[in-house]
Amino acid sequence: MKRKGRHPDKALTALGVRALKEPGRYADGNGLYLVVDPSGSKRWLLRTVAQGRRRDMGLGSASLVSLAEARELAVRHRKIAREGGDPIQARKSEKVAVPTFAEAVEQVHADHTPGWRNDKHAAQWINTLRTYAIPLIGDRLVNSIETPDILTVLSPIWLTKPETARRVRQRLKVILDWAKTAGHRSGENPVLGVDRGLPKQPKKSGHHKALPYGQTPAFVKALRMQNATVRTKLAFEFLILTAARTGEVLGATWSEVDQAAKVWTIPA
């Protein structure tokens, strides 16, 4: 491998790269070097000028990156430098992988959980997305999700479960806002335009009718005779005895109950 003047061009050969043992830096040309370390390991180095500064960037181990591949990488990075860019920063940007929607959900949930005081809310927040959104768009990259995808998630529950659907919509917006802030997508959040494709939800029917206090014993007796699951009947009776809200009873967990003290502590 003879050097040709001060600026060699393709001075190295694949056979020569394998044969080199002496530590040092060997020029291939156009800023590409093979570096042989004292340990015997070999690596590629590109020296170029980007934005007025000299930049040295590694192109990988010679055991993994061939001479031909190193030359291709060198050409690509020199082109970025010639166009006024920073090849090192460009490579870092390439390494930022765009997550799937399911991965984004887990990330946002992990980021927000420390700020939530109520563990039950944190669980409900992610469970609604796992139930209604992830099965439909979980494997989609967040930068490819558009308004029709949001419509696909919300349409099946928009009229049948209106309150749940509104919560899912709000949480979808949070996920995609995070994706934009993290640099994974650009443009308007697709959740913002989804209402135009959804029917008008029915108005809330108001409060449930009240049962006169004097009729409660007869009602509980009739409740116990109903053809329903034991769990459902016990939950209804528990609600009556505690005067709790329906959502509090439905969402209750054993961790909230101190059986020894016979106390149920409802989270804030």
- Distance from the Cα of residue 52 to its chain's centroid: 37
User: Within 13 Å and on the Cβ side, how many CA atoms surround 87?
Assistant: 25
d(CA 110, CA 123): 11
Helix ranges, 199-242 (H): 216-225, 230-242
Contact 58, 43 (CB under 8 A): yes
d(CA 216, CA 69): 81
Q: What pLDDT score was predicted for residue 52?
A: 81
Q: Hey, which residues does 58 pair with through a beta bridge?
A: 45
Taken as a whole, the chain contains a residue count of 268
Q: What pLDDT score was predicted for residue 36?
A: 93
Q: What pLDDT score was predicted for residue 6?
A: 60
Q: What pLDDT score was predicted for residue 50?
A: 82
Helix, strand, coil percentages (3-state) for the chain, rounded to 5, are: 55, 15, 35
Domains of the chain, with CATH numbers?
14-95 (3.30.160.390), 101-197 (1.10.150.130), 213-264 (no CATH)
- Distance from the Cα of residue 209 to its chain's centroid: 44
Residue 115, helix vs strand vs coil: helix
Q: What pLDDT score was predicted for residue 3?
A: 47
Q: What pLDDT score was predicted for residue 103?
A: 94
Contact 241, 220 (CB under 8 A): no
Q: What pLDDT score was predicted for residue 2?
A: 46
Q: What pLDDT score was predicted for residue 213?
A: 84
Q: What pLDDT score was predicted for residue 1?
A: 46
User: Does the predicted TM-score (pTM) go above 0.85?
Assistant: no
Per-residue pLDDT for the chain (268 aa), expressed as one digit of tens each?
444 456 678 889 999 999 999 999 999 988 899 999 988 889 999 998 888 888 888 888 888 889 999 999 889 888 888 888 888 777 766 556 789 999 999 999 999 988 887 788 888 999 999 999 999 999 999 989 999 999 999 999 999 999 999 999 999 999 999 998 888 888 899 999 898 889 988 776 667 778 888 888 998 888 888 888 888 888 888 888 888 888 888 888 888 889 999 999 988 7
Q: What pLDDT score was predicted for residue 116?
A: 81
CB contact set of 263 (below 8 Å; sequence gap of 6+): 257
